[in-house]
Structure 1
């Protein structure tokens, strides 16, 4: 990390950023073409959880290359200055990477959907229609590297 003075190493603060962030940008690559998509997500026990329709560009890419990179940010605010080159940004962000796997087990899908739903609704358990569970794709990212930084 170029700016070590901005590095965040406290695992609790990293988890806090991941809990507060509303959108996760997931980066994928296939055949030397990058692709990035903003997604709702959950985070627990060093895993990133995503849900998706069962088809589409990201699903197609993940079947060919399960390596992902992701980014979240919170508390962003532009810092203005009289000089254009002195402008900056306040923020806290997390960038990570890992390997994605598709979850097929229905009970595991429910558990992961509850993690995602708790993030946005703060309720721990939800009821899911069996047809929805059959048709939703759940992606679990085993986080292998994670870094955070901030400027407040």
Structure 2
């Protein structure tokens, strides 16, 4: 799947699942997100498990899926799944500057509603923003015309 189709899936997605490592145990969390220029953005509390894990091990994976639904058949062994998905890998870091944080939050907000949006200084100080520099991502689909 080409990058244009991959980014179309991301634009339609409502949730991004972010996968991290907690020692030798995987940890995954669904998050609100923003995406622009091969970078994902997430927000949350400064004291959270995901922030602790990213600071210890910044390599992450992520997943989006849309339009997922089963395709039934008379024989349950012939059932299939219709879906479009994106899976990728990247390097996570914490956004440090107030201006970069403001821009990241605007990108996140734009995923869900038209802007412009405003963010107060106290809110910016209280919010942690994580960015993921996308290294690779692939898209897949099933149950759709292949173009």
**TM-score under structure 1 length normalisation:** 0.91
Gap regions ≥5 residues in structure 2:
none
1:109 to 69, 92, 101: 101
1:29 correspondence with 2:29: no
User: Pairwise CA RMSD of aligned residues?
Assistant: 0.8
Residue 104 of structure 1: CA displacement? Answer: 1.1
After TM superposition, where is structure 1 displaced by more than 4 Å over at least 4 residues in a row?
none
1:132 to 94, 104, 123: 123
**1:3 aligned residue:** none
1:66 correspondence with 2:72: no
1:147 to 116, 138, 141: 138
Gap regions ≥5 residues in structure 1:
1-7
Number of equivalenced pairs: 143
Please give the alpha-carbon distance, in whole angstroms, between the structure 1 residues aligned to 2:62 and 2:19: 6
Equivalent residues of 2:55, 2:93 under 8 A apart: no
2:113 to 118, 121, 130: 121
Please give the alpha-carbon distance, in whole angstroms, between the structure 1 residues aligned to 2:49 and 2:77: 38
1:12-50 deviation per Cα after TM superposition (whole angstroms, max 9, x unaligned): 111110000000000000210110000000110011111
